[in-house]
Amino acid sequence: MPALRLPAFYESFLYLVLHWIVLATSWNLLSGYSGYFSFGHGAFYGAGVYTTAVLAGKMDVPFAWTLPAAALLPALLGVALGAIVFRVRNVRGELFALLTLAVTFVLATIVLNTPIDGGPGVYLSAVAVPSLAPTASGSFYLMALALAVVTLAIAYAVTKMRLGVGLFAIHDDEDAAEVMGVPTYRYKLVAFGLSCGLAGLAGGIQALFVSYVTSNGTFNITVPLTVVLMSVLGGTRHWAGPAIGATVITILLYASTAADQAVAGKAVVGAILVGAVLFMPDGILGLAVARLRRMRAAASSIAQAPPAYATRLPATAAPRARTGEPLVVVRGLRKSFRGVRALDGVDLDVREGEILGVLGPNGSGKSTLINVVSGHYRADAGSIVFAGRELLHLRAHRIARAGIARTYQIPRPFAHMTVRDNVALTAMFGGEALDPGEARAQAGEWLAFTDLAARADALPGDLNLHQTKFLELARALASRPRLVLLDEVLSGLTPGEIDEAVELIRRIRARGTTIVLVEHVMRVVTALSDRIVVLDQGRVLAEGLADDVMSRREVAIAYLGTVHA
């Protein structure tokens, strides 16, 4: 143990720095990584403070025994609150921030009105401080140090785990993340629970440190304001960002309050927050990481010849025979939007190994079909059986795991992840659970397959439309799906690029993947598809072999209006 033999003052100051590092880093676990800003961190911290205060101060439980409770109670509170609010699709960032802010005042009211406190505050002056060091301040320093190390280790480990990758994807595009197989609801709950538990622990130690706790002193706006500020200043997308921010702010705050100017201190914190949000919304570490990436990208574009590993693609999607057995059986599928029947009883089969072209005029329900099958929307009625399994009531990430991948008509890459990490994400969360290292290696191979290897370290925003569309394809393929739903992958491409894409789609099918192709470019659909289904006004109008279907009278009417022939 690094027991510094410093004067008590320094030990107490270091305690404060470490205390804020724990609070800011724990806040960042949910809020920084996933973008769900909690303004209620003070509430969960406060729950920890009062757990220890009541157990140790009023019920004479030894201090060390109160700490597990101080972690558990806030964690349970957080999970319970999350279980309610994360279920609601509309509770996204802003609403979550305000709901959690309200929790602070609710907890304060409860504490103040019940025997938990009742008004006078709780004294812990009679509680024995564990003697880890010769002095009390030394013991506090060591406790905070241990907790800070644990918290930072957790924050680091999470970024290296699937959990962290999933949270970052939620930050960028939660719906797309869910469709790519990220269990968004569970991940948010886990992160929230961890975040609240660690804050509660910090609160438990703080209760003994201050030895007298009051409702007003605990449940106020200072804790959330300060942790948000620290994390935003340091950089919320990096595990170490909040710790850096916490160190800087604690020193700054100390310097300004030391001169008996608490009011000025508050103004300074406010001004730094405004400045940080306006001038460097990505924080200190965000800036540094971006600069590093640019340097690395510049270096790699010179040094790297595209590696020729397209041949060692993972063989897991073992080329399945084109058995012609139905892989997907859709019956009576209905979906309405405020009375508009987008799908009005659709029946169709997709056979194993085929390319099924889906055609139809605008508004005929093509995209809705893909959105319902992939779980992006929930159907009103009907059934979708995929490989013998009913999908209708599964959440989107379960459908992805079952082996269905999709592309979006308007590409929805995760904006803050590199091209490689975008692809690695679906490799990680798709059919088989890979660990992040393997997933990144495989991602490289899928990028080679789609000719994007040279752009692996770029951000999606730096790609052109053609490359972005191919990135959508690479992402869909990386989960090694049995069925790929392609939603107008060719729209907006030049004729030359379309030919390239057609070639790519042929190669995908050659690997044994079944494809549903929603497309407007007629020559492509007829060239690629084994069979064609025509939708009109939410119903199947015609189904059959390509040439046969297109020459039918009702199809011509749907496309061109009345036929005078």
**Interface with another protein, residue 464, by CB under 8 A:** no
List the interface residues with another protein, window 61-100 (CB under 8 A).
Answer: 84-85, 87-91, 93-95, 97-99
**Interface with another protein, residue 113, by CB under 8 A:** yes
Question: To the nearest whole angstrom, how small is the minimum distance from the Cβ of residue 33 to another protein?
Answer: 14
Question: To the nearest whole angstrom, how small is the minimum distance from the Cβ of residue 272 to another protein?
Answer: 7
CB burial of residue 233 (10 Å; 0-12, 13-18, 19+): buried
Answer for the pair 177, 166: CB distance below 8 angstroms, yes or no: yes
Cα of 55 vs its chain's centroid, Å: 37
Answer for the pair 104, 89: CB distance below 8 angstroms, yes or no: no
What is the token pair recorded at 541? 């109008």
Question: To the nearest whole angstrom, how small is the minimum distance from the Cβ of residue 90 to another protein?
Answer: 6
Site string for another protein, 477-516 (x = CB under 8 A): ----------------------------------------
Question: To the nearest whole angstrom, how small is the minimum distance from the Cβ of residue 245 to another protein?
Answer: 13
List the interface residues with another protein, window 35-64 (CB under 8 A).
Answer: 35, 37
Q: Which stretch binds another protein (CB under 8 A): 47-55, 277-285, 424-432, 501-509?
A: 277-285
CA-CA distance, 118 to 120, in Å (whole number)?
Answer: 6
**Interface with another protein, residue 248, by CB under 8 A:** no
Measured from the Cβ of residue 164, the count of other Cβ atoms closer than 10 Å reads 21
Estimate the crossing angle of helix 8-34 against helix 41-52, to 10 degrees. 130
The helix or strand, by DSSP H or E, that contains position 497, with its residue range, turns out to be helix 495-510
CB burial of residue 214 (10 Å; 0-12, 13-18, 19+): middle
> Toward another protein, which CB reaches closer, 97 or 297?
97
> Toward another protein, which CB reaches closer, 149 or 267?
267
Strand, coil or helix: 61: coil
Which amino acid type is present at position 45? Y
> Toward another protein, which CB reaches closer, 35 or 460?
35
**Interface with another protein, residue 103, by CB under 8 A:** yes
**Interface with another protein, residue 433, by CB under 8 A:** no
**Interface with another protein, residue 223, by CB under 8 A:** no
> Toward another protein, which CB reaches closer, 284 or 549?
284
Three-state secondary structure string covering 262-299: HHHHHHHHHHHHHHHHHHCCCHHHHHHHHHHHHHHHHH
Q: Which distant-in-sequence residues (6+ apart) come within 8 Å of 483 by Cβ?
A: 327, 328, 350, 386, 403, 404, 405, 513, 514, 515, 516
Q: Which stretch binds another protein (CB under 8 A): 220-228, 240-248, 395-403, 524-532?
A: 220-228
Of 76, 152, 225, 493, which one interacts with another protein (CB under 8 A)?
A: 225
Question: To the nearest whole angstrom, how small is the minimum distance from the Cβ of residue 563 to another protein?
Answer: 36
**Interface with another protein, residue 414, by CB under 8 A:** no
Question: To the nearest whole angstrom, how small is the minimum distance from the Cβ of residue 109 to another protein?
Answer: 5
> Toward another protein, which CB reaches closer, 96 or 187?
96
Answer for the pair 219, 47: CB distance below 8 angstroms, yes or no: no
Question: To the nearest whole angstrom, how small is the minimum distance from the Cβ of residue 100 to another protein?
Answer: 10
Question: To the nearest whole angstrom, how small is the minimum distance from the Cβ of residue 117 to another protein?
Answer: 12
Question: To the nearest whole angstrom, how small is the minimum distance from the Cβ of residue 221 to another protein?
Answer: 5
Question: To the nearest whole angstrom, how small is the minimum distance from the Cβ of residue 31 to another protein?
Answer: 10
> Toward another protein, which CB reaches closer, 91 or 313?
91
Helices marked H in 184-282? 184-210, 215-218, 222-234, 241-258, 262-279
CA-CA distance, 22 to 295, in Å (whole number)?
Answer: 32
For the chain, the distance separating the N- and C-terminal CA atoms, rounded to the nearest angstrom, is 92
**Interface with another protein, residue 377, by CB under 8 A:** no
Strand order in the sheet with 340-351: 340-351, 326-337, 381-386, 389-390
Of 69, 76, 105, 257, which one interacts with another protein (CB under 8 A)?
A: 105
List the interface residues with another protein, window 253-272 (CB under 8 A).
Answer: 263-264, 266-267, 269-272
**Interface with another protein, residue 106, by CB under 8 A:** yes
> Toward another protein, which CB reaches closer, 52 or 236?
236
| Residues forming a β-bridge with 344 | 334
Nearest to 532, CA basis, from 512, 503, 513, 552: 552
Question: To the nearest whole angstrom, how small is the minimum distance from the Cβ of residue 249 to another protein?
Answer: 13
CA distances from 71 to 203, 212, 391, 393 (A): 9, 20, 39, 35
**Interface with another protein, residue 410, by CB under 8 A:** no
Of 64, 149, 274, 340, which one interacts with another protein (CB under 8 A)?
A: 274
CA-CA distance, 181 to 444, in Å (whole number)?
Answer: 20
Cα of 218 vs its chain's centroid, Å: 31
Question: To the nearest whole angstrom, how small is the minimum distance from the Cβ of residue 290 to another protein?
Answer: 17
Question: To the nearest whole angstrom, how small is the minimum distance from the Cβ of residue 110 to another protein?
Answer: 8
Of 277, 287, 297, 441, which one interacts with another protein (CB under 8 A)?
A: 277
Instruction: Please name the residue that has the structure tokens 């799908």.
Output: 343
Residues forming the site for another protein (CB under 8 A): 35, 37, 84-85, 87-91, 93-95, 97-99, 101-103, 105-106, 108-110, 112-113, 220-221, 225, 228-229, 232, 263-264, 266-267, 269-274, 277-279, 281
